[in-house]
Amino acid sequence: MGWCPVLAEGLTYTKRRDAPVRTIRRRSPFGNNVLRGVSVRADAQRNRDRIVEVARAFFRAKGFDAVSMDEVAKGAEVGAGTLYRHFPTKESLYDAVLEAWAGKVNAAVDRALSLDGSARERLLNWLTDYAAMLTEHKGAAARITAALGDPGSPFAAKCETYLNANQRVIDALDSFLRPGVEAMQISRLVGGVAAVADNSALPADSVASMLAIVADGLLAP
């Protein structure tokens, strides 16, 4: 009797037409280490995400200074080694917590600039959203505002995000603003208002009135 051709490359063949079919299973050329490596990376990412989420809750509730790395590790149910492998310092952990702000910032700029209202309304809408984002985490407003212009700060990337956002607003509303308005000026002015609001019990209308004063000062007479 003749030989039967290969049915599936490298997987199934028959010795003779009347012989029982025997399935050959190839071992992966990469072995089980690839799957094991993928699993390890997935676990590491889950640990990192959990650490950041727990840290976000602590920072929001207690502020940067009052949170310890030990309590973050315990809250995330990871060992100290795992925590420090992902985040060598509390500053780097805080930076990761703030990282998600970049997308929110750009979305807020888009939303403010797309309004049909006056230049003042669009500007004030952005300043209000900006201040709200700065005060989302206890202590963030003062820390980020103080870090403006410091390239060595662990918050430098976040500062750059806000500066770029303010520059976008300036570019869009340039013909309505006073000459010489700079992104750094807006960042520091609104950051100052946000820091005061973050560390006091000011009612919302008081914060709104201060932001309105900032907006009127930026607009051309």
Mean pLDDT of the chain: 84
Between 205 and 14, the higher pLDDT residue = 205
Q: What is the CATH number of domain 36-91?
A: 1.10.10.60
Least confident of 88-97, 98-107, 148-157, 177-186: 98-107
Per-residue pLDDT band at 101 (split at 50, 70, 90): low
pTM of the full structure: 0.63
The domains spanning 36-91 and 101-218 adopt the same CATH topology: no
**Domain residue ranges in the chain:** 36-91, 101-218
Question: pLDDT-derived band of residue 37, with 50, 70 and 90 as boundaries?
Answer: low
pLDDT class for 18, splitting at 50, 70, 90? low
Domain 101-218 annotated CATH 1.10.357: yes
Q: How many whole angstroms separate alpha carbon 160 and alpha carbon 215?
A: 21
Tokens of residue 159, six digits:
């500062």
| Percent of the chain at pLDDT exceeding 70 | 81
